[in-house]
Structure 1
Amino acid sequence: MILDLLFPNRCIHCNRIIDADLLVCSSCFEHIHFTHFNYFEDNLFKEKCKLLFPVENAYALMYFEEENLSRKIIHELKYKNREKTGKVIANWTIGRLDFKNNKPDLLVSVPLHPKKERERGYNQLHLFTEILSSQYHIPFDHHLIKRNYYSQAQALKDKKHRLKNDNTFSISKKVSDKHILLIDDVFTTGNTIATIAWEILNSGNNKVSILVMAID
């Protein structure tokens, strides 16, 4: 309580004091560029995925644009030691994504290399995934996919090096006859998502859908 008085939570955009469980104030919230995609219908994101691998459904919550508030939100989650941002984004997703009677069997998030996770202190996708798992009653597995190499953050790479992800990921155990929802923060070139999707698809008679916080 005393810390809240001394260091009140502030909107990451306008610096206005807000409730402790919020990320942006109500005024700035209106500036977030949500996609309004339909998970079950063709959309821009699904079309991008279909160019890279067979995909069942695809959903992106926000647009990740230059000077856009969504970019600041993702950077708060990944680089500003604000893990709770994942909870806020999960709640926004829950309010917009309805699986109806066609839920995936398993939620799997893109892993960090153990060294990178130790440096950051958390995987920015874990809390997000766990909240969705609880809400939709879908199990999750944080260990199905393994990142084999420690590498520079995707956001800090040039486009040429982003496209080089061969053998970066591997699947840790046999999984088959599952519909897996693969979760990531930002879809840029799609190379990371595609590499993991093919690992899952080649592991058995699996299907893959994609959920990302934002699409570039």
Structure 2
Amino acid sequence: MLLDLLFPNRCLHCNRIIQGDQLVCELCFVQIHFTHWNFLDDNELKHKCTLLFPVQHAFALVHFEEEGLSRKIIHALKYSGREKAGLVIADWTADHVDFGTKKPDLLVTVPLHPKKLRKRGYNQLHLFTEKLSEQWQIPFDHELIHRNYNRKAQALQDKSHRKQTENLFSLTKPVQHRHILIIDDVFTTGNTMSAVAWEILKSGNNTVSVLVMALD
């Protein structure tokens, strides 16, 4: 209580004091560039994925503009120690996604390399995915995909030097005949997502869909 008085939670955009479980104030919320896509329809992200791997459906919650509020929110989650921001973003996502009759069987997160995980202290996708799992009543598995080696984050690389990854990920156990929703924070070149998707697809008669917080 005293900490709340001394260090009140503030809007990431305008610095106005807001409730402790919020990221932005109501006035700034309308400035978030949500995609408003339908999970089951064709969209820009699905087209990008289709060029890299077979995908059933794809959804991005927001656009990742260079100077936009969406970028501030994702960066707060990833680089400012605000792990619980994932819970707020999950609520926004659940409000925008309707699976219809195409509900996935399993939610899978893209893993961090253990070295990066130790440095950050958390995987920014975990609370996000666990909240969605609870709301959608779909099981999750944070351990299915193993990252075999570390590489510089794509968001920090010059686009001309981003390359297709090989053997970046592997499965920790066999999985077959499942519709798996792969979850990540930002879709940039799609190389990371593609590497995860192909590991799942080649495991045996699986299908994949994609959900990301933001499309760059």
Tell me the TM-score normalized by structure 1. Answer: 0.98
2:161 and 2:105 map into 1 onto residues whose CA distance is 33
Aligned to 1:201: 201
Secondary structure of the 2:202 match is helix
Aligned to 2:169: 169
1:105 and 1:125 map into 2 onto residues whose CA distance is 18
1:167 offset after TM fit, Å?
1.1
2:83 and 2:163 map into 1 onto residues whose CA distance is 28
1:83 offset after TM fit, Å?
0.2
2:134 and 2:161 map into 1 onto residues whose CA distance is 36
Secondary structure of the 2:115 match is helix
Letter in 2 for 1:181: L
Aligned to 1:135: 135
- Give the alignment of 1:70-149 within 5 angstroms: 70-149=70-149
Secondary structure of the 2:195 match is helix
Letter in 2 for 1:207: T
Letter in 2 for 1:143: E
1:153 and 1:190 map into 2 onto residues whose CA distance is 12
2:199 and 2:113 map into 1 onto residues whose CA distance is 17
Secondary structure of the 1:196 match is helix
Aligned to 1:3: 3
1:123-151 deviations in Å (ceiling 9; x for gaps): 00000000000000000000100111122
1:161 offset after TM fit, Å?
3.8
Q: Which aligned runs of 4 or more in structure 1 are off by greater than 4 angstroms?
A: none
1:156 offset after TM fit, Å?
1.5
1:215 and 1:31 map into 2 onto residues whose CA distance is 16
Aligned to 1:49: 49
Q: Compute the RMSD of aligned alpha carbons.
A: 0.9
1:166 offset after TM fit, Å?
1.1
Q: Percent identity?
A: 68
Aligned to 2:61: 61
> How many residues in Structure 1 have an aligned counterpart in Structure 2?
216
Letter in 1 for 2:190: G
Letter in 1 for 2:157: K
1:44-83 deviations in Å (ceiling 9; x for gaps): 1111111111000000000001101101111001100000
Letter in 1 for 2:175: V
